[in-house]
Amino acid sequence: ARQAKDAPPPPTVGVVLKGCDTRSVVALIQERQVPRDKLVLVGVACPGMVDRRKAERALGEHVALGAGEDAQGNVHAVVEDGTEVALPREQILASACLECRSPTPSIHDALLGEPVEAKDPQAARRQTAEFGAKALAARWAHLRQTLSKCIRCNACRQACPMCYCKECLLDQTRPRWLGAGTDISDVTIYHLVRACHMAGRCTECGACVRACPMGIDTRLLVRKLNQEVEDLYGYRPGEAIDATPPLSAFAMDDPQDFLTEP
């Protein structure tokens, strides 16, 4: 998506995609960042990706994954002393995979494997509902505690498939919208601005979480905004290539409750 606008026409390429990858590619096609006719999409029905950090927390030490899986669905990992340990796969799957609503690519030119059912498609809504039920002070305290670990390395932005601006608003110096340090005010503004820019665009791939060196999961903010867009406009990012993103269209009967109600 960051390809220069004046570059020569791209060649036709084949891309192997999981469900979340497909959603990101569809969203980029909708935003005219990649041409559909230059892509051959090979979809892979995805049972979920293992999260190495979860495995390390479960075992209390560094592990090397990739030792295979057994017939019982256990993932084999090698710990520091060379011992091979088996862990239940569901226990160490990435959170984004456990909550994924469409693990089988919805759009593809060829599909590898049998379609996979979503594990818990309502998990994200339950989490945002639980968070929303808390008092305002408790929600704010949770966000500040979460964001206090942020070192402003921008890894979440760099890993995000939907962040492709040539110059990010948050990097501008004329005018300068926020400082480059880790003051909690600047950190909070950074994440709030990112969340607003991802509303109705986040494909919930979890790349931001995987990239964060501090283990911060800020998806709660974006997830709530995505749910608002879905409830108001019936739009889910990256699910249908012929769908119109709500921020790129206007209709006289668009919901306008937010203009008059707090």
The three-state secondary structure class of 39 is: strand
Question: DSSP states of 72-114 as a string?
Answer: TSEEEEEETTS-EEEEEGGGGB-HHHHT-S--S-SS-SEEES-
Kindly tell me the sign of the dihedral angle through the C-alpha atoms of 253, 122, 27, 190.
positive
Do the domain assignments include residue 2? no
Q: Do 165 and 190 reside in the same domain of the chain?
A: yes
Q: Do 178 and 190 reside in the same domain of the chain?
A: yes
Q: Do 81 and 163 reside in the same domain of the chain?
A: no
Domain boundary, last residue among 60, 92, 124: 92
Q: Do 30 and 131 reside in the same domain of the chain?
A: yes
pTM of the predicted protein model: 0.83
Do the domain assignments include residue 171? yes
Residues in Cβ contact with 24 at an 8 Å cutoff, skipping those fewer than 6 apart: 161, 162, 203, 205, 238
The tens digit of pLDDT for each residue in 30-55 reads 999 999 999 999 999 998 888 888 88
Q: Do 206 and 111 reside in the same domain of the chain?
A: yes
Q: Do 118 and 39 reside in the same domain of the chain?
A: yes
Do the domain assignments include residue 257? no
Q: Do 80 and 111 reside in the same domain of the chain?
A: no
Least reliable range by pLDDT among 53-57, 107-111, 147-151, 232-236: 53-57
Do the domain assignments include residue 3? no
Domain boundary, last residue among 69, 92, 115: 92
Do the domain assignments include residue 4? no
The tens digit of pLDDT for each residue in 158-216 reads 999 999 988 888 888 888 888 878 889 899 999 999 999 999 999 999 999 999 999 89
Percent of the chain residues past pLDDT 70, beyond the cut: 94
pLDDT over 60 (residue 4): no
139 membership: H or E segment, kind and range: helix 136-147
Q: Do 185 and 57 reside in the same domain of the chain?
A: no
Work out the burial of residue 103: count CB atoms within 10 Å of its CB; fewer than 13 is exposed, 13-18 middle, 19 or more buried: buried
Q: Do 57 and 39 reside in the same domain of the chain?
A: no
Average pLDDT over residues 130-153: 92
Strongest mean pLDDT among 59-63, 79-83, 185-189: 185-189
The whole-number pLDDT of residue 258 equals 64
Which has the higher per-residue pLDDT, 254 or 227?
227
Q: Do 167 and 212 reside in the same domain of the chain?
A: yes
Give the number of domains in the chain. 2
Percent of the chain residues past pLDDT 90, beyond the cut: 49
Confidence band of 260 (pLDDT split at 50, 70, 90): low
Domain boundary, last residue among 92, 112, 146: 92
Do the domain assignments include residue 5? no
Do the domain assignments include residue 170? yes
Domain containing 137 equals: 13-49+93-247
Do the domain assignments include residue 81? yes
Q: Do 226 and 108 reside in the same domain of the chain?
A: yes
Q: Do 43 and 73 reside in the same domain of the chain?
A: no
